[in-house]
Structure 1
Amino acid sequence: MTEAPQTPEPNGTVADAVKGNWVDTLAPEVTRPYLRLSRADRPIGTWLLLLPCWWGLALACLTTQSVSWYDGWIAVACAIGAWLMRGAGCTWNDISDRDIDAAVARTKSRPIPSGQVSVRGAVIWMVAQALIAFCILLTFNWAAIGLGILALLPVAIYPFAKRFTWWPQAFLGLAFNWGALLAWTAHTGALQLPAVALYLAGIAWTLFYDTIYAHQDAEDDALIGVKSTARLFGDKTPFWLRNFMMITVVMMAVSIIMALMTHNNVLALVIALGGPWAMGWHMTWQLRKLDVEDPDALLRLFRSNRTTGLIPALFFALALLV
C-alpha cells in the first residue's frame, strides 16, 4: 500500500478519540501529536493494560495474606508503567501499520498517516517511553524484571499478527494481560499457577472486548485483506463472545480457588469469587447491547470494559479487608 498521507482532522484531532479530551484541549500544542500517538486521548487502553496488573497484585496479597508499603509502590508503578508501555506499544503499532491505517476510515487521522509525526520522530518517542518504563521495572525483584523484559516479545509480534492469522486478538491478549504475571511475581518473588490461570482469564476477556472493537473496522479490513476475529466470526460473534465470557469467569474463579484453597478465611474466598461472578454479569449486559452494525455502540461497549475489569479488582480489595 502506498496511499499518500491523509489530510489531518481539524486541529489534528483523531477521529475515534473522545471529543474534548484533555490532549486536544489542555496539553501544550507541540506535545499533542505525540500524546495522540500514545493514545493518551483515549485512556481506555491504559486501563485495560493496568487492570490485570492490579488483579495479579491483589490476588498475590490474598495468597500471602500480607500487604506492605512496597505493594503500594507496585500498584503505582504498574499504573505508570501501563501508561508508558501502552504508549510505546501503540507507537510501535502505528509505525508498523502506517500504510494500513492510511486506508481505514477510522484510523487515517492518526498522527503518522495524517503527517503530524514522522516515522523517525515516532521511533524516538517509542524508545523514550520504553526506557522510562524499564527504569521503573528495575525497582522490582529479578524474577519480575525478567518477566517484564520477556513481555516485549508479544508486544513486538502483535502489529503483524493481523497479517498472518485470523486471531490477532489472541496476540493482543498475550501482551495486554502480562501484567497479571508480572505483578504477582513482583509481590511473591516467583511465578505460580494461580497467576497463570488469571492470565488465561485475561486473555479470554481480551478476546471478548477486542472482537467487539474490531467489528468497527470489519468492512475496511475485508477490503484491504486484514484479518481479525470479527471477520472470522461474522454473524456467529455473539456465540463466540459468550464462550469467551464463560472462559473468563471460570478461569478467574479457578485462579482464586487455587490461590486461597489452603487458607482458613472462607469469607475472603467467597468475596473474591464474587469478582468473576459480577464481572460475568457485566459481560452479559454487553452481549445484550451488542449490535455489530452500529460503530458508535460498539465503541461504547468496548470502553465499558474499564468497568468490567474494575469489578474483580474491587472484590479482591474487599477480600483483603476481611
Structure 2
Amino acid sequence: MLKLYNIMETDSAPRKGSALQLVKDLLILSRFHKYNPWLATFSGVWATLLAGASKITANPTTISPNYILQQALLCFLCAYIFCGAGMVWNDWVDRNVDKNVARTKNRPVAAGRVTATQAFIWMLVQFAASWWLMEIMLEGHDVAAAMIPVTISTILYPYGKRQFFRRLYIYPQYFLGFTLAWPSAIGWMAIKGREIPVTQSIAESLPLAITVFAWTLYLNTAYSYQDIVDDSKMNVNSAYVLAGSRIHSFLIVLAILVLGSVYLQLRAQNSVWLWASWMCVWALSFLHQLLRFDAKKPESGGPLHKENFALGLWTIVACVVELGLTSGKMDQLLDNLHLRLSDIL
C-alpha cells in the first residue's frame, strides 16, 4: 500500500486521455495517498470505543465487544470517506488561490490535471457513500442530525480563509476544529443512539469534542504556519494571524486546553490504564513538540502535525485495550480486530 501511495505522489505528470491517471489524481485530490484523512476519523473511533467500554462497565450483558468494534469500523470508514469529500471541496473552492501558493500549486485542480466539474462529481460520490455508511451505522436513526452539522462546517471551512471572516475574528481552524470534533457525538450515537436522544449523546461526548477541537486548533495552526510567507502576501486569514508574534505562547495555551479537556473525559471513564496511556503520553509528547517549535523557522510546524497523527493512532490502540480490559476478553478482542482489519486491507 505504501508503494502505491509513493507512486501516486510522484507520478503527477498528466497523460491526456488516461483513465488511470485521472483515478490517481482523484485519489490524490482526496488526500487518500496521505495520512490527513485519518485525522478526521480519530474522534469518532475514540468515542465509539469509550462509549462501548462505558456501556459494558454499566451493564455487560447489553452489548458485545464485537458489536462495538463493528461500529468503530463503520465510524472510521464514514469519516475517512467524508473527509475525502471535504478535501475535494476545499481544493475546488480554493483552486485559484492554490495556484499562487508554493505548497499547493501542484494539487490536481490547481494544476489543471482534474477539471472543476470532475472534482465536483467526485466530491458528491464520496459524500453519498459516507451518508450511506452513516445510515448503516445508525440503523437509519438521526442520520440527518449526525450529518448536517459536519456538512455545514465543511462547506464553510475554505471560506473561513477570506477577509470577511477575519473581520469577525473567525478563523478557518474554528470550522476545521468543529468538523473533526463533531464525530465524537456520532461515535457516541453509534453505541447509545437507540437509547438516548441526540442531545444527550452530545452532552456525554462534549469533553472529548472539546479535546479534539482544541487539538485541531493546535496542530493545524502549527502546520499552517509553514505558509506564513505566501499567506501574508495574499492576506489569507488563519489562526496564527490572531497569535501574531506570540505564536509559541498561543500553542502552549492550546496544549494546556487540550490536556484539560482530556482530564475531564478520563475522569468520567475512571480508568488507570487511560490515565497512563492517554494523559501521560500526550503530556510528554506536547512538551517535546513545544520545545522543538521555533517561531523563527515556520517549517518547524510540519513535524508537529505528523507527531500528532501518531498520537491519534496510539490513542485508538489505548481505547481498544481499554475495551478489552473492561470486557475481560482482551485476546478474543485483538483476534477479532485483526480479522476485521485483514478483511479491509
Q: Does 1:64 align with 2:61?
A: no
In the alignment, is residue 110 of structure 1 matched against residue 107 of structure 2? yes
Q: Select the residue among 138, 144, 155 that pairs with 2:135.
A: 138
Residue 275 of structure 2 is matched in structure 1 by: 273
Displacement after TM superposition at 1:111 (Å) = 1.0
How far apart, in 2, do the equivalents of 1:310 and 1:169 lie?
Answer: 21
* Matched-pair contact (CA < 8 Å) for 2:48–2:191: yes
Query: Deviations along 1:62-90, whole A, 9 cap, x unmatched?
Result: 21125433322222222222221111001
Deviation at 1:185, TM superposition (A): 1.0
Q: Quote the residue 2:6 is aligned against.
A: 21
The one-letter code of the counterpart of 2:31 is: R
Is 1:188 the counterpart of 2:187? The answer is: no
Equivalent residue for 2:232? 222
Specify the SS of the correspondent of 1:41.
Answer: coil
Task: Between 108-117 and 312-321, report the one with greater CA deviation.
Answer: 312-321
Moved segments of 4+, more than 4 Å: none
How far 1:207 moved relative to its partner?
0.7
Matched, 1:170 2:155: no
AA at the equivalent of 2:67: Y
- Residue 42 of structure 2 corresponds to residue 51 of structure 1: yes
2:289 to 286, 303, 312: 286
What is the one-letter code of the residue matched to 2:42? Answer: L
Q: Which runs of 5+ in 1 are unaligned?
A: 1-17, 262-268
Quote how far apart the aligned CAs of 1:235 are.
2.5
- C-alpha distance in 2, partners of 1:298/1:252? 23
Relative to the length of structure 2, the TM-score reads 0.80
Deviation (angstroms), 1:20: 6.7
In structure 1, give the amino acid aligned to 2:53.
L
CA contact (8 A) 2:173 2:216 kept: yes
Deviations 1:116-169 (A, max 9, x none): 111111110100111111111111221355212332111111111111135221
Alignment-derived partner of residue 14 in structure 2: none
Larger helix fraction of residues: 2
In the other structure, the counterpart of 2:339 is none
1:249/1:276 contact within 8 Å kept: yes
After TM superposition, give the deviation of residue 221 of structure 1 in Å. 1.1
CA distance in 2, matches of 1:254, 1:96: 37
% identical equivalent positions? 27
Could you say what secondary structure the match of 1:157 adopts? Answer: helix
Which whole-Å CA distance do the structure 2 matches of 1:88 and 1:33 have between them? 14
Q: Is the 8 A contact 1:23 1:36 kept in 2?
A: yes
**How far did residue 184 of structure 1 move?**
1.1
Q: Aligned-pair RMSD on alpha carbons?
A: 2.2
**Correspondence 1:239-254 to 2 at 5 A:** 239-254=249-264
User: How far did residue 91 of structure 1 move?
Assistant: 0.5
Specify the alignment match of 1:12 in structure 2: none
Alignment deviations for residues 196-250 of structure 1 (CA, whole Å, 9 cap, x no partner): 1100110000011001111111111111111111232132111111111111111
Structure 1 residue 256 corresponds to structure 2 residue 256:
no
Letter in 2 for 1:39: R
- The count of aligned residue pairs is 296
Is the 1:33–1:111 Cα contact (8 Å) retained in structure 2?
yes
Q: More deviation in 113-122 or 277-286?
A: 277-286
- Whole-Å separation in 2 of the counterparts to 1:98 and 1:25: 21
TM-score, normalized by length of structure 1? Answer: 0.85
Question: Aligned partners of 2:51 and 2:69: how far apart in 1?
Answer: 13
Q: Is the 8 A contact 2:49 2:69 kept in 1?
A: no
1:213 and 2:210 correspond: no
Distance 1:213 1:64 in 2: 37
